[in-house]
Structure 1
Amino acid sequence: MSDLRAVVFDTDGVLLATADRHAAAWKETFDGCLPEWQPSYAGVRPRPFDAVREYRDLVDGRSRLDGVRAFLGARHIGLPPGTPGDPPGCATVHAVAARKEEVFSAMLRTDGVRTFDDVRPALQRLGEMEVRCAAVSASRHARSLLESAELIGYFDTLVDGQAAAALALPGKPDPALFLEAAGRLGATPAQTAVVEDAIAGVEAGHQGRFRLVVGLNREADPHMRDALRAHGAHLVLPDLGGLPAALEGDRP
């Protein structure tokens, strides 16, 4: 069996503490549109977006367009697709995605970006082990966010939303983003580990037949732990602190 030579990291929720802002941005977006899509009936308002369960099950780890489509499908709401030039709004899928982008960008301008304390030590150790690293994200913000957090230098390559659009790569749970990153690192899936905190991302790692799929459960949620395992994680960790040792144990 070939040595494990590379690790592909998801960005939001794994490297950067931005998952809560994404969830809040999705909630503001969807809750602002729901009264238009599903007007109150007999005084009953439409059920608000659940920033925990629906975020985890429907939009976390997906591109904005795929997240909008998944939520609309789950709520049985039909919208025309629209076009990429649609302004932020509620009338088309592209408009809703643009609305979420606008809300999230405003949050970043106000609050900045924060990284998790365990990230740098883990990346430094992987560098000492001569394990090549890639960052992957469906977001077009990924490069600027990693630069702001002073993490970009730890990675040999980045496959973000801009690269995905340029290469027409499908989003998670399709493994295309991870496969592209591994290829750029000169590694096969059998030589590569994937680290993800989202169910869709773990599914992508499983479908791509990566050597090791690590689920990250930072909130120590037993339901999330079980869901990550059920969707393909070989190992679930509470943070990145145990990752180098886990990789050393997997290298023959």
Structure 2
Amino acid sequence: MANVTEAALPAVVLDLDGTLVDSEPNYFEAGRALLEEHGVPGFTWADHERYIGVSTHETLANWRRRYGLSAALDTLVAELDDRYLALARAHTPVFEQMTLLVERLHRAGVPMAVASGSSGSAITAVLAATGLDGLVGPAVSAEEVPRGKPAPDVFLEAARRLGAAPVDCVVIEDAEPGVAAALAARMRCVAVPSVPVAPDDPVFSAAGLLFPEGQASFRAAETYDWIMRVPAV
């Protein structure tokens, strides 16, 4: 394909958990252990899947109501962060094809940001531990905006920090709330579902590029070409 000039470069906004890195097992274990400590045993992976793509703050607010937890919300957020960070620093795999994509975008000079529902401390720790902090630019946490996904706030803030118009941004996401947020922000979206989705799922089907088998079917080269293709006006 022809070289893309710097003026025509898109901006790319990447979700972190389940998209760039395989962190959901760590979040599941951290949440399971926290709930057990607070007298709620039996938290399962199926239970965890309900909260994939939902911010940490909103997840724990839901758990306080759902499970009748008496601890303050800020206390629970801090406890979950501590548990998660201990696991994340020990081992957080980066998806191989995502690494190839990010490296290629970086070489091409494409501006990139991370926009995540995780806490700022968790995002910083994971990016540093995986070396991704040297490839991507600013990182925006849901803590820094009024509303988490599926509201578009975190993606719009990432675009602002990159100095890019929302319509010139491409979001890469694994979860339905994130895809909905990208579409609400009027950004193109690459969807790589972390959980199985129905072929006619209305949210995932609206993504510009969908890998229905998730990370198993995701291909860096195909995604790079799609990102760099200037959309028709």
Query: Where on the TM-score scale, by shorter chain, does this alignment land: which range?
Result: 0.7 to 0.9
Which digits, 9 at most, give the CA deviation of each residue in 1:6-44, with x for residues without a partner? 110011111122121112211222243344xxxxxxxxx
Paired with 2:229 and 2:192, the residues of 1 have a C-alpha distance of: 18
Question: For residues 124 and 102 of structure 1, do their structure 2 counterparts lie closer, same or farther at Cα, with a shift above 3 Å needed?
Answer: closer
CA separation of 1:55 and 1:12: change in aligned 2, threshold 3 A: same
What root-mean-square deviation, in Å, do the aligned CA atoms of Structure 1 and Structure 2 show? 2.8
Contact 1:56-1:199 within 8 A present in 2 as well: no
Residue correspondences, number: 218
Q: Highest CA radius of gyration, 1 or 2? A: 1
1:78 CA drift (Å): 4.7
Is the contact made by 1:143 and 1:160 (CA closer than 8 Å) also made in structure 2? no
Match of 1:85 in 2: none
SS in 2 for 1:134: strand
Work out whether residues 111 and 136 of structure 2, in 8 Å CA contact, stay in contact via their aligned partners in 1.
yes
* Mapped contact 1:199–1:227 kept (Cα < 8 A): no
Matches of 1:223 and 1:70, distance apart in 2: 26
Deviation track 1:52-80 (CA, whole Å, cap 9, x = no partner) reads 3x3232x223332211123444x3x455x
Give the aligned partner of residue 150 of structure 1.
131
Q: C-alpha offsets along residues 102-153 of structure 1, whole Å, 9 cap, x if unaligned?
A: 32123235x3322111123212222344421111223222123212211112
Q: 5 Å matches for 1:100-115?
A: 100-109=80-89, 111-115=90-94
Secondary structure of 1:118's counterpart equals helix
The alignment's TM-score, normalised by the length of structure 2, stands at: 0.79
Aligned to 1:134: 113
Q: Which residue of structure 1 lines up, in the alignment, with residue 162 of structure 2?
A: 185
Aligned residue in 1 for 2:207? 233
Distance in 1, Cα, partners of 2:86 & 2:209: 36
SS of 2:139's equivalent in the other structure is: strand
Once residues 245 and 175 of structure 1 are traced to their aligned partners in structure 2, the CA distance between those partners, rounded to angstroms, is: 25
Structure 2: gaps spanning 5 or more residues: 1-6
**Which residues of structure 1 form unaligned runs of 5+?**
36-45, 80-89
Aligned to 1:40: none
Q: Secondary structure at the match of 1:61?
A: coil
Q: Percent identity?
A: 26
